[in-house]
A and B are shown apart, each in its own frame.
Chain A
Amino acid sequence: AQSVAQPEDQVNVAEGNPLTVKCTYSVSGNPYLFWYVQYPNRGLQFLLKYITGDNLVKGSYGFEAEFNKSQTSFHLKKPSALVSDSALYFCAVRKTGANNLFFGTGTRLTVIP
């Protein structure tokens, strides 16, 4: 079975400060890991993914995420938060060869001006 945990429902950060949105996963074998962002009244948009290789992956809008196999984590980070980063963020995992993505429950990020 595969699962994803996003332990924080809500993350608040001041504009200009670094942000972290946490994600841990449970899957047998090698995982494919994804981050998506959802702005109000919109569908989800792909941010970045880890498939293999370098543990630090860079994505859209200045976001990056670090794959940590020993801690089974894939935290999303950004060095300097913008107010426009305020949105709902979803972590997702897929087992190698599986047919579907399994999503976490989402973390609402609010960047305070």
Chain B
Amino acid sequence: EAQVTQNPRYLITVTGKKLTVTCSQNMNHEYMSWYRQDPGLGLRQIYYSMNVEVTDKGDVPEGYKVSRKEKRNFPLILESPSPNQTSLYFCASSLSQGARGTGELFFGEGSRLTVL
């Protein structure tokens, strides 16, 4: 089954304790992206990756890191989480974007993060 898998689905942590949210897709998609969803703000893009070893900032990258060492995986790293990073996070993938792409995004089920 084609899917985007995120882990953990729920996490409560404390300020400053590094955490990683994993994302994996099994569709051989080139493009992957992380969004955060906050009430009244919709979805805002954090980082995206056009392909392996190619990543770029989205609209709200501060406090986050990503890496794309393999095509299927795109982990989101919070080096020192703060309460304002409490949010619902979504990973998404697409066959392609940019000049070659018209493809829709496939989303994971979301990871709800609470930073105390």
Contact = CB atoms under 8 A, between A and B. Distances in A.
Interface residues of A, number: 24
Interface stretch (A65-73, A76-84, A102-110): A102-110
Contacts of B44: 103
A11 interface: no
B99 A45 contact: no
The prevalent SS among residues of B at the interface is: strand
Interface residues of B, number: 27
Contact of A106 (B35, B42, B45, B50): B42
Given A90-B42, A90-B43, A99 B56 contact: yes
A11 to B, nearest CB: 16
A105 B99 CA distance: 26
A28 interface: no
6 contacts: A43-B92, A97-B98, A98-B98, A100-B45, A103-B42, A103-B44
